[in-house]
């Protein structure tokens, strides 16, 4: 009761005041909200990208500038498939202020890969990422016509004659490497093993014995620091003052000098009998202008090759072994194929035998179909660019991109597209013969122009097509051939790993396997 007595007058005093405050506050908030809406509406054209007339549809997004970076980054394939269903093969999404025009299906692939030089540029898209790593005077730091000549040099250096010499080297390196898996059975990380083995075999074959012999010491650290510069943020921004970029720049100088010292040393000692690319570049290469390839350019090309092949081939090898681990019967089939071609599992591997190992080939192909290491192929658009067969025009300064994994994993092109089935390739080439009247040579060998319309393009197409494919196949197939002779494999805890999309190359999130040593 006493409290009730006090409460009444107090409430009487406060109540009108509270009511007044509430009304004022409501008006105040309403005013702020209206002004904010008006303000946001006024600055919307500044904050949000406005769709131009005839531009492909823009995927809606909430956060200005960031755009769809987060939703796309979480699961790119899901993202692209979702908007493909909604908009068709061409749509734009905003990525940190950039217009990324996604071009899907075989026509979309063809649009990106066969874009004319005056319309779209790879160097404008990749320069900030690659020039500090590879160095000046090569690849995306030079006019496209110079790149074409440099690609021709490398392609000629990867001749069948040289590849023939590489197979026994890769076989030996692989046997030596896996001799460290010496328990009868154990758990090991197959991606770590593939990465170490790919750099060992690539160094031995392409860069030479001198580089290979330093791999366990100084060279490994230089490679690691240089590789640290190969990250998505450097694709988006020019020369950020990051500690990793400082290390990258120091490592670049060290690696270039290291290669150039070896070149000088070989010259002084009169060494000319090597089968590596260093030998080829420093003795056989002259531009059409008559200028010889300089040692610095040779060193930079060697860095570019090392970087282009390392993560692509090592993740492919890791994924292939993971797919095999999920299908133990394939191990027996692969071994049987080797016995059929070579006579026994004890015969040394040769280039000619490797070429005949069709199932091994199809395992690699099928892995590249489901897990193409390079997710997006990107070009910067140099002038407003109409998309043939549509009413769309891509505005100048946008980026066009092809996403290989979408056509690779599309039911429209591949039956049971999500299933790993190496045998699907048995008749593929027969059924997809290219016409011989549509040939084109950009300067590094004849290509089928129409090949850019294939739904399967793990090595790209057109003027920027990969020239490392024959080496990659020889390397990966030889490693797998040796591996199946030595081990059987099962997935760790029976789980096939998911994709990690956060780095430049699509990697397995986990890569543990249970191996069992075979008694041969
Ligand atoms: C270009 C994939 C291994 C050297 C490309 C492209 C793709 C690709 C998709 C086209 C890029 C674009 O159009 O923007 C792969 C895959 C590999 C592999 C999946 C392994 C499984 C290698 C190796 C080397 C190499 C081992 C070197 C020995 C190159 C070069 C280019 C290229 C020089 C040309 C770049 C250009 O013209 O712009 N690669 N690559 N690649 N790759 Fe490979």
Query: What are the pLDDT digits (tens) for 369-388?
Result: 999 999 999 999 999 999 99
**Closest residue to atom 2 of ligand 1, CA basis:** 459
Q: State the distance from the centre of ligand 1 to the C-alpha of 371, rounded, in angstroms.
A: 15
Whole-number Å distance between alpha carbons of 2 and 6: 6
CA distance 242 to 484: 43
Helix (H, G, I), strand (E, B) or coil at 272: coil
Residue to mutate, 117, 235, 276, 308, ligand 1, most ligand atoms under 8 Å from C-beta? 308
Query: With contact defined as beta carbons under 8 Å apart, do 467 and 158 qualify?
Result: yes
**Which residue has the least CA distance to atom 8 on ligand 1?**
459
From the CA of 151, give the closest atom in ligand 1: 33
146: region left, alpha or beta (phi > 0 left; psi from -120 to 50 alpha): alpha
Per-residue pLDDT tens over the stretch 84-136: 999 999 999 999 999 999 999 999 999 999 999 999 999 999 999 999 999 99
Distance from Cα 134 to the centre of ligand 1, integer Å: 14
Cβ atoms of residues 175 and 363 within 8 Å: no
CA–CA separation, 427 and 16 (whole Å): 86
CB atoms closer than 10 angstroms to residue 43: 11
What are the phi and psi torsion angles at 197 (to 5°)?
-70, -40
Domain ranges of the chain: 2-97, 135-374+432-454+458-517
Residues with CB under 6 A from ligand 1: 122, 147, 151, 305, 308-309, 312-313, 316, 373-374, 377, 458-460, 464, 466-468, 471-472
514 token code pair: 């249970």
Split at pLDDT 50, 70, 90, the class of 434 is low
Q: Which atom of ligand 1 is nearest to the CA of 404?
A: 9
Average pLDDT over residues 38-44: 79
Distance of CA 43 to the CA centre of its chain: 38
CA of 307 from ligand 1 middle (Å) equals 10
User: Which atom of ligand 1 sits closest to the CA of residue 126?
Assistant: 14
From CA 501, how far away is CA 375, in angstroms rounded?
9
> Sorting pLDDT into bands at 50, 70 and 90, what band is 442?
confident
- Of 259, 307, 227, 352, the C-alpha closest to 468 is 307
Nearest CA to ligand 1 atom 26: 309
- Residues found in the chain: 520
| Centroid of ligand 1 to alpha carbon of 156 (angstroms) | 15
Q: Are 191 and 503 in contact (CB under 8 A)?
A: no
51 touches 58 (CB < 8 A): yes
Write down the mean pLDDT value for the chain: 91
DSSP annotation of 29 reads H
Tokens of 350: 């040769």
pLDDT at 435 over 90: no
Q: Which of 143, 307, 460 to mutate to test the pocket of ligand 1 (most atoms within 8 A of CB)?
A: 460
Lowest-confidence region among 55-64, 164-173, 228-237, 266-275 = 228-237
* β-pair partners for 394: 385
Phi-psi region of 288 (alpha: psi -120 to 50; beta: other; left: phi over 0): alpha
The Å distance, Cα 309 to ligand 1 centre, comes to 7
State the alpha helices, DSSP H only, in 48-189. 69-74, 76-87, 105-113, 122-134, 144-157, 160-178
Res 484 pLDDT > 80:
yes
Q: How far is the CA of 459 from the centre of ligand 1 (A)?
A: 6
57 within 8 A of 51, measured Cβ to Cβ: yes
Query: Half-sphere exposure (CA, 13 Å, Cβ side) for 396?
Result: 4
Cα→Cα distances 418→125, 366, 369, 370, 413, Å: 31, 11, 10, 7, 11
pTM: 0.91
Closest by Cα among 417, 414, 408, 421 to 375 = 408
Q: Nearest residue CA, atom 13 of ligand 1?
A: 464
Pick the CATH number of 135-374+432-454+458-517 from 1.10.8.50, 3.50.50.60, 1.10.1370.30, 1.10.630.10: 1.10.630.10
Count the Cβ atoms, other than its own, within 10 Å of residue 200.
Answer: 19
* Ligand 1 atom nearest 140 alpha carbon: 38
Q: What is d(CA 509, CA 496) in angstroms, rounded to the nearest whole number?
A: 10
| Bridge partners for 374 per DSSP | 505
Which atom in ligand 1 lies closest to the alpha carbon of residue 304?
A: 33
Distance between terminal CA atoms of the chain?
97
Measured in angstroms, how far is the CA atom of residue 468 from the centroid of ligand 1? 6
User: How many other CB atoms are found less than 10 A from the CB of residue 399?
Assistant: 21
- Closest by CA to 399, choosing from 127, 121, 17, is 121
* Token pair belonging to 132: 């500090």
Which tokens is 275 given?
């089968």
* Per-residue model confidence (pLDDT) at position 238: 86
Residue 378 Cα to ligand 1 middle (Å): 13
Q: Provide, for the chain, the percentages of residues in helix, strand and coil under a 3-state DSSP scheme, each rounded to the nearest 5.
A: 60, 10, 30
Q: What's the chain's Rg over C-alpha atoms?
A: 28
State phi, psi for 366 to the nearest 5 degrees. Answer: -65, -35
Separation of CA 182 and ligand 1 centre (Å):
35
Which residue from 197, 311, 374, 468 has its CB within 8 A of the most atoms of ligand 1, so it is best to mutate? Answer: 468
- pLDDT for 10 equals 45
Q: Is 128 helix (H, G, I), strand (E, B) or coil?
A: helix
Please give the distance, rounded to the nearest whole angstrom, from the Cα atom of residue 119 to the centre of ligand 1.
Answer: 22
d(CA 357, CA 353): 6
Euclidean distance between CA atoms 48 and 65, whole angstroms = 7
Mutational test site, ligand 1, from 129, 315, 405, 459, max ligand atoms within 8 Å of CB: 459
Collect contacts of 234-242 with beta carbons under 8 A, ≥24 apart.
234/128, 234/129, 234/132, 235/125, 235/126, 235/128, 235/129, 235/504, 236/95, 236/96, 236/98, 236/128, 237/128, 238/128, 239/128, 239/132
pLDDT tens digits, one per residue of 491-504:
999 899 999 988 88
pLDDT tens, 198-233? 999 999 999 999 999 988 777 888 999 999 998 888
Can you read off the two tokens belonging to residue 431?
Answer: 């059924």
The neighbouring-strand residues paired with 514 are: 187, 490
Distance 460 CA to ligand 1 centre (A): 8
Ligand 1 center to residue 227 CA distance, Å?
16
Q: Are 300 and 134 in contact (CB under 8 A)?
A: yes
């Amino acid at each position: 009761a006493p409290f009730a007595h006090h409460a009444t007058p107090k409430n009487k005093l406060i109540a009108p005041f509270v009511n007044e405050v509430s009304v004022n506050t409501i008006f105040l908030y309403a005013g702020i909200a209206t002004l904010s809406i008006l303000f946001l509406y006024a600055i919307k054209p500044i904050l949000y990208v406005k769709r131009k007339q005839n531009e492909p549809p823009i995927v809606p997004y909430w956060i200005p500038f960031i755009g769809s970076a987060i939703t796309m980054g979480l699961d790119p394939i899901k993202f692209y498939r979702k908007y493909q269903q909604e908009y068709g093969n061409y749509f734009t999404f905003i990525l940190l202020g950039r217009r990324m025009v996604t071009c899907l299906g075989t026509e979309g692939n063809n649009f990106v890969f066969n874009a004319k030089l005056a319309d779209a540029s790879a160097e404008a898209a990749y320069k900030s990422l690659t020039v500090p790593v590879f160095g000046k005077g090569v690849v995306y730091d030079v006019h496209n016509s110079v790149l074409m000549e440099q690609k021709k040099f490398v392609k000629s250096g990867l001749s069948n004659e040289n590849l023939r010499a590489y197979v026994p080297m890769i076989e030996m390196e692989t046997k030596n490497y896996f001799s460290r898996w010496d328990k009868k059975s154990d758990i090991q990380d197959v991606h770590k093993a593939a990465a170490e083995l790919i750099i060992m075999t690539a160094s031995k074959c392409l860069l030479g014995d001198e580089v290979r012999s330093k791999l366990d010491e100084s060279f490994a650290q230089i490679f690691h620091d240089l590789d640290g510069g190969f990250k998505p943020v450097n694709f988006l921004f020019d020369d950020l003052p990051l500690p990793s970029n400082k290390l990258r720049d120091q490592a670049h100088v060290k690696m270039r000098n290291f290669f150039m010292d070896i070149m000088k040393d070989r010259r002084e000692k009169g060494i000319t009998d090597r089968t590596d690319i260093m030998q080829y570049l420093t003795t056989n290469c002259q531009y059409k202008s008559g200028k010889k390839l300089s040692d610095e350019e040779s060193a930079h090309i060697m860095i570019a090759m090392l970087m282009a092949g390392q993560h692509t081939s090592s993740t492919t090898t890791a994924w292939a072994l993971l797919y095999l681990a999920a299908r133990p019967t394939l191990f027996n089939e692969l071994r049987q194929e080797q016995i059929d071609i070579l006579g026994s599992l004890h015969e040394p591997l040769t280039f000619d035998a490797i070429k005949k190992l069709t199932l091994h080939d199809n395992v690699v192909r099928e892995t590249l179909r489901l897990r193409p290491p390079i997710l997006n192929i990107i070009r910067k658009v140099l002038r407003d660019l109409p998309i043939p067969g549509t009413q769309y025009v891509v505005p100048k300064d946008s980026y066009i991109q092809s996403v290989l994994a979408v056509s690779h994993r599309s039911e429209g092109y591949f039956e049971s597209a999500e299933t790993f089935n190496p045998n699907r390739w048995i008749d593929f080439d027969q059924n997809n013969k290219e016409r011989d009247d549509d040939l084109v040579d950009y300067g590094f060998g004849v290509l089928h122009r129409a090949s850019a319309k294939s739904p399967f393009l793990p090595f790209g197409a057109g003027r920027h097509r990969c020239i490392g494919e024959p080496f990659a196949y020889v390397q990966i197939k030889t490693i797998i051939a040796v591996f199946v002779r030595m081990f059987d494999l099962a997935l760790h805890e029976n789980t096939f790993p998911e994709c990690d999309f956060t780095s430049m190359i699509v990697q397995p999130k986990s890569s543990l396997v249970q191996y069992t040593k075979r008694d041969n």
